[in-house]
Amino acid sequence: MAKSHTRLSFFDLPKNVRTDILFLSDLVRPCYVDLARGRLRDIKANRTLCVQCHEYERIKGVDRRQQLPCVCPPIPVNLFCISSAIYQEVVTVFFQFNKLLINGRAHHSLENLQRLERKALPSLRYLHISLDDHAPAELADAGALGAKAAGQWSAVCDYIASNLTPRQSCFHVYCQMTEALAAKRITGSLGKLPVMKKCGLRLGQAKDDTFQTLARATVRKIMGQPDETSFPLERLPSEIRSHILYYIGLVASVAHSRSWGAKMYIRNGVKSPRYDRCCGKCTEAKGECCCISRRSAFSTSSDCVVIPTVLLRLNKLISPEAIDVCYGKNQFRFVGDPLLNLNILLCLPRHSVKLIRHIYYCFGLVSIIRLSKPECMARRHWIEFVHFLMQSMDVTQLSLHITATALWRFSAIGGWPAEMIIDTERAILAPLREMRGLKSAFIDMVGHGNKEIESIEREIVGQGYGTITHDVRGKRSLVGLE
């Protein structure tokens, strides 16, 4: 007698297998799901596109200022209409693994949230609210318009607080505040939210200490973290205080240190932020930066560390020790015109400059073009920069890194003759011959096998030089060891 085969149902499969099937059906997408009054849109702003979509833009050469279509597969909305049982399964997976984005004003956010399936909101894991340019102006109004906008935003926070599951959701809010009243109304209502798994708040595109402090306090309150209290650092021995100052961010940062610790960037005489780019961990949305080193924001998932320069002027006991750690352990990186960078060093206290132990100088394309001309003032400015280092610093304790690898472009692509390349290298290295007894040195140039240049390099490095290495492009690196 033949055995009867019963048909296997979707719900006969294990739950993890059903979830994997829904994943493979493109129900979960890398990009944010943009909610526009309850509808799913495929047109998204660039800042919310995933990595694959940004790579598509780069390959196609599309203008990033345009509103671009997402290249991720469309959401299979037909899955929501098969049956009530499958609907519950699909909605749970959809809210649990997708990142929801809400753009617009406060009342738009409330309308979009109320149109969602309320039973599935407790499973929501990622929620991103971006208030448009009209919201700050409405919230900053001291009259009836501002009170109405504040009430709408409070209703949004109340709705989120009553539906999200504590300690499971990642919540981020982005807005461009210019008035303190608007910022206080935004942060005041956010205090009602439950404790989140991750949280980020950006109150402004540009960095502002007042808004950043407010964002930090609000996020810490949402995360249920205790208020920051003072610590009696003065009671500890000086050796322990120095170690503490080293690890709390004055050396920016131990977690991101390279060969000589962190780098303080000085580009063409202008102090630039330590992080020129977003860390990539402060938020799930690519382009919506919440780095504390760049924005008026705070995020629990960011790994940016800002140098606490307030310690340099705290009191008579801590400040000298903080100055020793800050100037002695960091690597100061100079890029660009020597004269402009010299002006920065002249603005620093002379006793602090003497404590600098690590210097990195990178000659860019423009600087190399200027140095290639014998009659240009750039050569004299470079000599003045080197003389200032010798007069103001302890050369025997100085680690020096000089790189001019951009010369390779002029040699291989620009068509400069070898004599011109060698003359430019000579203009860079000749002033350094007077810096006798360097603790360590690293010279990165273009290799032409010129004996005069190599002798100058060995003279700068001293007897303890390491090896000369050549890469596939002919670039030469000479390393001097301590």
The mean pLDDT value for 152-165 works out to 87
Model confidence at 104: pLDDT above 80: no
Judge if 179 and 294 occupy the same domain: no
Judge if 91 and 162 occupy the same domain: yes
Judge if 265 and 168 occupy the same domain: no
Judge if 337 and 439 occupy the same domain: yes
Is residue 291, in this structure, part of any structural domain at all? Answer: yes
Model confidence at 19: pLDDT above 70: yes
Rounded to whole angstroms, the Cα distance separating 285 from 32 reads 7
Judge if 218 and 239 occupy the same domain: no
Rounded to whole angstroms, the Cα distance separating 300 from 282 reads 7
Model confidence at 67: pLDDT above 70: no
Instruction: Output the pLDDT for position 114.
Output: 76
Looking at 178, 193, 222, the residue that finishes a domain is: 222
Instruction: Output the pLDDT for position 388.
Output: 93
Judge if 87 and 188 occupy the same domain: yes
Q: pLDDT tens digit string along 32-62? A: 787 764 444 444 444 455 545 544 444 444 4
Model confidence at 244: pLDDT above 60: yes
Is residue 229, in this structure, part of any structural domain at all? Answer: no
Looking at 199, 222, 245, the residue that finishes a domain is: 222
The mean pLDDT value for 313-337 works out to 86
Is residue 230, in this structure, part of any structural domain at all? Answer: no
The model's pTM: 0.63
Is residue 435, in this structure, part of any structural domain at all? Answer: yes
Pick the closest to residue 190 from 132, 114, 139, 228 (CA basis).
139
Model confidence at 158: pLDDT above 60: yes
Which residues constitute the domain of residue 76? 10-222
Sign of CA dihedral 433, 439, 444, 447: positive
Mean pLDDT, rounded, of the chain: 76
Is residue 55, in this structure, part of any structural domain at all? Answer: yes
Looking at 201, 222, 243, the residue that finishes a domain is: 222
Least-confidence region, from 110-124, 133-147, 437-451: 437-451
Q: In the structure, what pLDDT confidence band is assigned to residue 384 with cuts at 50, 70 and 90?
A: very high
Q: pLDDT tens digit string along 219-229? A: 988 888 766 66
Is the separation of the CB atoms in 253 and 262 below 8 Å? yes
Model confidence at 474: pLDDT above 60: no
Select the more confidently predicted residue: 426 or 249: 426
Select the more confidently predicted residue: 335 or 263: 335
Judge if 463 and 405 occupy the same domain: yes
* CA atoms within 13 Å, Cβ hemisphere of 26: 9
Judge if 240 and 212 occupy the same domain: no
CA geometry: angle at 251 spanning 269 and 216, to 5°?
Answer: 90
Is residue 302, in this structure, part of any structural domain at all? Answer: yes
Instruction: Output the pLDDT for position 38.
Output: 40
Instruction: Output the pLDDT for position 3.
Output: 58
Domain count, the chain: 2
Is residue 4, in this structure, part of any structural domain at all? Answer: no
Instruction: Output the pLDDT for position 413.
Output: 61
Model confidence at 472: pLDDT above 50: no
What proportion of the chain, given as a percentage, has pLDDT over 90? Answer: 4
Least-confidence region, from 62-66, 83-87, 326-330: 62-66
Instruction: Output the pLDDT for position 382.
Output: 92
Instruction: Output the pLDDT for position 386.
Output: 92
Judge if 208 and 245 occupy the same domain: no
Model confidence at 70: pLDDT above 80: no
Is the separation of the CB atoms in 328 and 352 below 8 Å? no
Q: pLDDT tens digit string along 352-367? A: 899 999 898 988 888 8
Q: How many CB atoms lie within 10 A of CB 173?
A: 29
SS3 state of residue 454: helix
Q: Which residues of 304-315 are buried (b: 16+ CB within 10 A; e: fewer)?
A: bbbbeeebbeee
Least-confidence region, from 115-129, 133-147, 279-293, 428-442: 279-293
Model confidence at 263: pLDDT above 50: no
The mean pLDDT value for 463-481 works out to 44
Judge if 163 and 245 occupy the same domain: no
Judge if 336 and 440 occupy the same domain: yes
Is residue 228, in this structure, part of any structural domain at all? Answer: no
Judge if 180 and 264 occupy the same domain: no
